[in-house]
Amino acid sequence: MPMGRRYAKDGPQTGKRTFGRRRKVCKFCVEKIDFIDYKDIKLIGSYVPERAKILPRRISGTCAPHQRELQKAIKRARHLALLPFVGE
């Protein structure tokens, strides 16, 4: 079963399948955020869903260097009880 995958409007291009989904881009690269601050809970919090696990790159589309920075910031924020270790 084609799980949610579909061809783009103009159909397959040169044998390669094009998926309807937009390619994810790293938010930090686009907005040119070089330094991810552990105090900025508003920003970091969006990468920590309900269960309080760190959102994987595969889902958020964050690039590897920025994911590492993000990970560090989240862990620091957790230590200071700004973010939870476990969610509901």
Q: Cα–Cα distance between 88 and 73 in angstroms, integer?
A: 21
Should residue 26 be labelled a site residue for other proteins when binding is judged by CB under 8 A? no
Beta carbons of 41 and 82 less than 8 angstroms apart = yes
In the complex, what is the shortest distance from the CB of residue 12 to other proteins, in angstroms, rounded to a whole number? 33
- The mark string for 30-49 relative to other proteins (x by CB under 8 A, - otherwise) is -xxxxx--xx----------
Q: Cα–Cα distance between 74 and 7 in angstroms, integer?
A: 37
Give the pair of three-digit tokens for residue 58.
């595969």
Of 20, 49, 56, 84, which lies in the binding site for other proteins, with binding defined by CB under 8 A?
A: 84
Interacting residues toward other proteins by CB under 8 A = 31-35, 38-39, 76, 78-86
